Chain A
Amino acid sequence: MPQAYRSVEITVNGLTYNRQVEPRRLLSDFLREDLDLRGTHVGCEHGICGACTVLMNGYTVRSCLMFAVQANGAEITTIEGLAKNGKLHPLQEAFWENHGLQCGFCTPGFLLSACELLERNPDPTEEEVRVGLSGNMCRCTGYQGIVESVLAAASKMKAQK
């Protein structure tokens, strides 16, 4: 059975893309291969590690557990969309300053999960950060630096408001 291509219109980091995709094209591969946005990492490919996390209409989703066709009409934010005008997002700065990463493989996913977390809860406790980020795995840092980074970003962002 020939697989019909489908047209999708997906806005990624503010730019709207119209593309033809195979229905089985995963959103992660659509971003990485079709749009050449390789900041979204693919780790386990079956919904466990969270490396492929992106924001869809403001909430985090695993792009390896979605077909691109399901994102038709949606607004996606990937790691490439976090810095604005060459200035890092406060979370990115905080990860840099607080040893929030070592190899960096998990970092894009963690940053987007942390974005949603702080959006919903600008003043989280340490426990709330740990629970909120439990959908992302890191093989390097032991999480301590990541949790500290998110807490540091939260206080910085509060002070800036």
Chain B
Amino acid sequence: MYPQEFEYFCPETLEDAVGLLSKYGEEARVLAGGQSLIPLMKLRLASPKYLIHLGGIQGLSTIEEQDGMISFGALTRHAEVEESSLVQAKLPMMHDAVSMIGDVQIRNLGTIGGCLVHADPAGDMAPALLALGARVNTLSSNGKRTLKIHELIVDAYSTDLGEDEVVTRVLVPIPQKGSGGVYLKFERRAGDFAVASVGVQISLQKDGTCSEIAVALGAVGFTAIRARKAEELLRGKQVDDVLAKQAADQASAEADPFSDIRGSAEYKRHLVGVLFQRALKIALKRAGGEEVDTVHL
């Protein structure tokens, strides 16, 4: 299995990378960790004539805290996100999600930028980052832009990026104290993509009323979906089992799954409800300061 021939570039600056992309247009493709692009190239579903590897650019894989955000360079590998003490302490939902991506070898090479731009409907970064209200910074020959996750990912495997536009950083706001987040994924085989996944970030007032909530669903639509009606049911209320069940039914209704090798649409819709209720319970516990392990559920 060999890809079509291509010319390879390894520029040292972002500006040079953008310059090469502008020059070669739609015949060029960016290479990050290669964990999605190389399989596509081997199957010749992608045959770029010019491959522009970002790996030679310094400073694109740092994780920094600034102005209430955690900022990730686009080339930060999944393993680096997983091991980051900042992420473990301040973005538990993101830690859950990244630990569930593929297996060790995939996480050792795959990057946060590549995972978002590949825009697999069953990818794990998009739902978690959608629920967290993350943004991405980009650079192109037209200058810089900042996009929300749903503005970046417009359809299955499609983004709003221009031909010569690269993602440079991913910015994730740190939820305030008293907020709890979790990401749960259901997979049939170790290391596989999700059959369905749910991310919940909930903030509670002192009396336990839900002041803010974000719910994102993964693998049950062409892109990650915000379950906004389910959120509405919970906002401003004390969450009890009855309300949780109503919200779960609502989240199932908002899912837009298709039947495929991983399960029927009906089954996936059901899974969303179950995962949502489990996730809500854990998010509430975490909001109360409790530590809950999700990887070994």
Contacts and interface: CB of A to CB of B under 8 A. Distances in A.
Nearest to B77: A59
A67 B34 contact: yes
Interface in A69-87: 69-70, 72
B108 A59 contact: yes
Interface residues of A, number: 32
A135 interface: yes
Nearest to B191: A134
Contacts of A67: 8, 34, 38
B43 interface: yes
B35 interface: yes
Interface string B16-42: 000000000000000100110011001
Nearest to A29: B2
A93 interface: no
B191 A135 contact: yes
Contacts of A22: 5
Interface of A: 1, 3-4, 6, 22-24, 26, 45-47, 50, 53, 56, 59-62, 65-67, 69-70, 72, 113, 116-117, 127, 131-132, 134-135
Given A131-B296, A135-B104, 11 more contacts: A1-B7, A23-B51, A45-B1, A46-B39, A46-B43, A47-B106, A61-B105, A62-B106, A69-B10, A70-B55, A131-B295
Interface of B: 1-8, 10, 31, 34-35, 38-39, 42-43, 49, 51, 53, 55, 79, 102-106, 108-109, 190-191, 295-296
Those 9 A-B pairs whose CB atoms lie nearest each other, nearest first: A135-B103, A23-B8, A134-B190, A3-B5, A135-B105, A59-B108, A45-B1, A62-B105, A60-B105
